[in-house]
Structure 1
Amino acid sequence: MLASVSRKTISMLLVLALVVTVLFIPTSTVQAATVGVTDNGSTIVVNTGAGLEYTINKSNGDMISCKLNGVQLCGSSKASHIGSGLGSATVTWSKSPSGSTVLITAATSTLTHYYSSRGGENIIYMATYVTAEPSVGELRYIFRGNGSVLTSVPANSNIRNNVGAVESSDVFGYSNGYTTSKYYGNDQAKNLTIRGVTGSGVGVFMAYGNREKSSGGPFFRDIQFQSGTDTEVYNYMNSGHAQTESWRMGLHGPYALVFTNGSTPSVPDFSWMSGLGLTGWVSTRGNIVLNGLFGMDSSYTYTVGFANSNAQYWTTASSSGAALKYGLIPGSYTMTVYKGELAVYTESVTVNGGATTTLNSRTINSDPSAASAIWRIGNWDGTPNDLLNGQTITIRHPSDSRNPSWGPVSYAIGSATNKFPAIQFRGQNSPTTITFNLNSTQAAASHTLRIGITTAYNGGRPSVTINGNSMSNPSASSQPNSRSFTIGTYRGNNNTFSWTIPASYLNNGTNTITISPISGSSDLGPWLSAGWVYDSLDLLN
């Protein structure tokens, strides 16, 4: 009995203690941490109270200092900024009523850049609203970091200790024949999450955020890092680097710089920024559901993309082709189904605000692999990844000493696919020769030759001969007006050239095809010469 009473008494005392604790706990511990802001007239200094302090220049919106626990992470030679710097801007700031959030706005007539932070977090949240493309021709945020502190950097874009440029002023070589550039080692847009650089006890990471206003689609790559005197971390929202689409205007982002002790952080939650009143923020959105796909090849990943002039989105389909995408800006979109990176189905769909559009299962109807072929080189998947040096295009220059020789190649049908060159250069590895055998029945009929490419440079297109007979020369394909396969991308506009070969050109037995690039433009060098990246080649039954 006494033991029971004692237990009841103790329980009552514990409850009373909890009530007293709740009633008398200091108010500051249950509210969000405050963020400190000091306006010095020419600069705004933000202290998040968690170790991060950064300084914004009030004349132009540049970030001129950034310290984590007292360690200066910004470089000393140039500031960090949107574009190449705004030159001049109207810079204002405000705090939330609770004092827990600061919003800094740097505005020009066509661009508004936002910085925001919350007390207790080592994060600089950002977004950029544009009504016109910056005069520099690309929209990017550049964090220029302290190169002596941020020393652990991606190898492919680390240009330190090079012996000079091997192409233009942005691809560099080394005494061992290796190459590096800011164009190498970059992720496809669909894989952009968070990535950064580190040093002793510090790390700076870019959370790339929403890509809906960027351009180029799910497989587009652009600059993420460059490590020279400064350690540079980029968020490229659009550019002219092998760009296949028009630029999209509106609110780019949100995105963020996240500062850590060196560990890779999770992607921050951006949803709270809906309450900041950012120009261009779209709250009302819709969803789309695709129930499935018929005609899939189980060897490939399928991506379902949605794009119009205002926004772009994508999602990965399940093994049955089912796909779900949340949070699209209302409008009409072109839905594209990609096998690998090759479009194999398109359709116009409509997304309504506050609603879900549901599509019944669709049948893939544009896969070139469905055609019966006498022979085929490579897979129709919109990439050169199964061809010679195809997997190194995104990580180093074609001239890099680590690459096996590009040729010229003589390729016998039936040989390993990775012996056929991923790129055809007019000035470096032409012609490519293909030999194959036909039986008497095959040689007595006409056949279609197809050459699929993922991009081309300098108007390059194939000039083909079959057993010494010249086929008609095609027109150039529509491609980005820039370098491509020498700056880390094979992604352009997929295109297929085709010819009908008459039976009179064919032999019962051995046959020979030669392929060389032609162009109406002169070349800048053996690597910057007219050419293209192969996807697949085949001779149809």
Structure 2
Amino acid sequence: MALMMLPGKALAAFGITLSGGAYTVDTNAGLVFKVNGSNCDITSIKFNGGAELQSSSKGSHIGSGLGSATVTSSLSPSGTSGVITCSTSTLTHYYAVRRNENIIYMATYIVVEPSVGELRWITRLKSSVLTNVPAQSDLRGTDHAVESADVFGTSNGQTRSKYYGNQQARDLTVRGVTGSGVGVFMAYGNRESASGGPFFRDIQNQTGTDTEVYNYMNSGHNQTEPFRTGVLHGPYALVFTSGATPGVPDMSWMAGLGLTGWVSGRGYISGKASGVASGVGALVGFANTTAQYWTTPDASTGNFSSPAMKPGVYTQTLYQGELAVATRTVTVYSGTTTTGQNITSTWPEPSVLWRIGSWDGTPSWFANSNRYLDMHPSDVRNVSWGPLTYTVGSSGLSGFPAYQWKSGANNPTTVKFNLTSSQIAARTVRIGITAAFAGGRPQITVNNWTSSIPSPSTQPDSRGMTIGTYRGNNALYTYSVPASAFVTGTNTMTINIVSGSSGSAFLSPGVAYDAVDMY
């Protein structure tokens, strides 16, 4: 039922009204928006009496639009807040507002994954009004497709895509776009019902005819774990300002709205993390089929305390950088802090003869690692991918590739290293990867000795390394090299990417490197 402003209340313009099949929401603070009463799309957004912000081509909506939904509205007994509820057989989406706040609070409950295959909120704004946008995902000025129908190039060889310039889930707080006298910002919420963990990246912006601001809660974009369903995603919020970046709004007030799937009873985990390599940051994560959380231990003591968590049994993971180095099981109880949940790295740290990179679960500092999140590998701003030769003891880390592909790009990678006569012995070579595409995996040759072909790692079915992320499933390859393979003086090891699959250049089988060492 649509409730008008209550008579006798000094509510100024705040209210939700139904007319002509649309709900008009006035926050009494400058924000007025309309919601289609048959499909839940936002069809108009105006701020401080200015120009229409909402795109005229499509509405702003959950998923790709619900098509049809049962849409109702209500005001709180005090008349100071309101909710629009949009329901289908498998999804319930909420818009909530408070008097004198220019914020659209949202939450989305799903029983099954949407048929489009991803759960996302899309704000579609006029790019003629919201003009200041992230450059990496600004498609204006591109004139040809580089890859699929979602990576585009300019005439000067640069690339743009909605996949570029996105933040990790652990960094999602507030991000948005601005124009003259107006800013529209997404506040992403706690991510507890999203999928992919703390290091996952997904689409946040795209600008073309429209300026789009997203909140992706799950997708098939290099997805490393199953989607969470039967849970409430959010809350999250769309915040409107005169252009300044806002703080994260307090969304705890929504606990009183009776939203399906809201869990108020929470508990905490505390303990100490230890054993992480010096100079590499630690993070402690928790995950089960209904929720995910993470926290950063104190850098000096290793002590940590979790955020408020839903009750249940979780896998607790210690990360060295982004590399999982220990797991254990913990149980969270409502209203209780479970103490003493210590976790210690079990990652092997042998005394090595040499190492390229560091065991942190990322290709950081390797060639093009300062660019791979922001552009396609073919972008002219990249330095040459190779094939590269890395000489232990004299090459910088930029002499080793962040990524390597089987065909037409940079296969093989060569590593040169010296051994004294006393160092000739059976040795172990370790190669860590953070992702792989099309079954790509490394095979090594040391001088005249060649390893067997290892099995492929288990990875998401996604392009991955061409869509702005190195994050898949970390895998470790270990090679036992006999003493007879080595010589006194200069030794040459080549790393070839092999696979039974094929492809050309950057869409051929490939890997993203973590580190390589020998002991």
Do the two structures share a fold, i.e. TM-score over 0.5? yes
How many residue pairs end up in the alignment?
Answer: 507
> 1:10 — aligned with what?
none
Match 1:378 to one of 332, 357, 370:
357
CA-to-partner distance for each residue in 1:428-461, whole Å, 9 max, x for gaps?
0011111111111222x11111100000001101
State the 1:37 CA deviation.
Answer: 1.6
Is 1:68–2:52 an aligned residue pair? no
> 1:260 — aligned with what?
241
CA–CA distance in structure 1, aligned partners of residues 438 and 342 of structure 2: 41
Identity %: 59
Answer whether contact 2:323 2:474 (CA < 8 A) is retained: yes
State the 1:360 CA deviation.
Answer: 5.4
> 1:19 — aligned with what?
none
> 1:277 — aligned with what?
258
Match 1:393 to one of 372, 383, 395:
372
CA-to-partner distance for each residue in 1:2-28, whole Å, 9 max, x for gaps?
xxxxxxxxxxxxxxxxxxxxxxxxx96
Answer whether contact 1:34 1:119 (CA < 8 A) is retained: no
State the 1:105 CA deviation.
Answer: 0.8
CA–CA distance in structure 1, aligned partners of residues 171 and 58 of structure 2: 29
2:172 alignment partner AA: L
Structure 2 unaligned runs (5+)? Answer: 1-7
> 1:9 — aligned with what?
none
Match 2:433 to one of 453, 459, 476:
453
CA–CA distance in structure 2, aligned partners of residues 270 and 126 of structure 1: 9
2:423 alignment partner AA: Q
CA-to-partner distance for each residue in 1:197-234, whole Å, 9 max, x for gaps?
00000010000012000000000000000011100000
1:72-87 matches, within 5 Å, as 72-87=52-67
CA–CA distance in structure 1, aligned partners of residues 309 and 12 of structure 2: 33
Match 1:533 to one of 507, 512, 516:
512
Match 2:319 to one of 338, 355, 363:
338
Answer whether contact 2:328 2:343 (CA < 8 A) is retained: no
Question: Could you say what secondary structure the match of 2:85 adopts?
Answer: strand
State the 1:295 CA deviation.
Answer: 2.3
CA–CA distance in structure 2, aligned partners of residues 326 and 238 of structure 1: 21
> 1:54 — aligned with what?
33
> 1:24 — aligned with what?
none
Answer whether contact 2:318 2:343 (CA < 8 A) is retained: no
Match 2:298 to one of 303, 318, 341:
318
CA–CA distance in structure 1, aligned partners of residues 121 and 274 of structure 2: 42
> CA distance change for structure 1 residues 384 and 33 in 2, over 3 Å: closer, same or farther?
farther
CA-to-partner distance for each residue in 1:208-266, whole Å, 9 max, x for gaps?
01200000000000000001110000000000000000000110000000011001111
Answer whether contact 1:34 1:98 (CA < 8 A) is retained: no
CA-to-partner distance for each residue in 1:502-534, whole Å, 9 max, x for gaps?
1111112221111111111121x3111101000
Match 1:519 to one of 481, 499, 502:
499
Is 1:299–2:279 an aligned residue pair? yes
Runs of 4+ in 1 over 4 A off after TM superposition: none
> CA distance change for structure 1 residues 497 and 33 in 2, over 3 Å: closer, same or farther?
farther
CA-to-partner distance for each residue in 1:145-203, whole Å, 9 max, x for gaps?
11100000011111101021111111111122111111111110000000100000001
Answer whether contact 1:410 1:432 (CA < 8 A) is retained: yes
Name which of structure 1's ranges 105-114 and 32-41 shifts more when overlaid on structure 2. 32-41
CA–CA distance in structure 2, aligned partners of residues 298 and 502 of structure 1: 31
Question: Could you say what secondary structure the match of 1:274 adopts?
Answer: helix
> 2:212 — aligned with what?
232
1:126 alignment partner AA: M
CA–CA distance in structure 2, aligned partners of residues 192 and 413 of structure 1: 38
Answer whether contact 1:33 1:100 (CA < 8 A) is retained: no
Question: Could you say what secondary structure the match of 1:504 adopts?
Answer: helix
Answer whether contact 1:461 1:474 (CA < 8 A) is retained: yes
TM-score, length of structure 1 as denominator length? 0.92
Answer whether contact 2:293 2:307 (CA < 8 A) is retained: no
CA–CA distance in structure 2, aligned partners of residues 408 and 155 of structure 1: 30
Match 1:118 to one of 92, 98, 108:
98
Structure 1 unaligned runs (5+)? Answer: 1-26
> 1:412 — aligned with what?
391
Question: Could you say what secondary structure the match of 1:527 adopts?
Answer: helix
CA–CA distance in structure 1, aligned partners of residues 145 and 383 of structure 2: 21
> 2:19 — aligned with what?
40
1:201 alignment partner AA: G
The structure that is helix-richer by fraction is 1
State the 1:492 CA deviation.
Answer: 0.5
Question: Could you say what secondary structure the match of 1:335 adopts?
Answer: strand
> 1:363 — aligned with what?
344
Structure 1 vs Structure 2 CA RMSD: 1.3
> CA distance change for structure 1 residues 499 and 160 in 2, over 3 Å: closer, same or farther?
same
1:112-261 matches, within 5 Å, as 112-249=92-229, 250-261=231-242
Question: Could you say what secondary structure the match of 1:326 adopts?
Answer: coil
TM-score, length of structure 2 as denominator length? 0.96
CA–CA distance in structure 2, aligned partners of residues 518 and 204 of structure 1: 46
State the 1:99 CA deviation.
Answer: 1.5
2:440 alignment partner AA: G
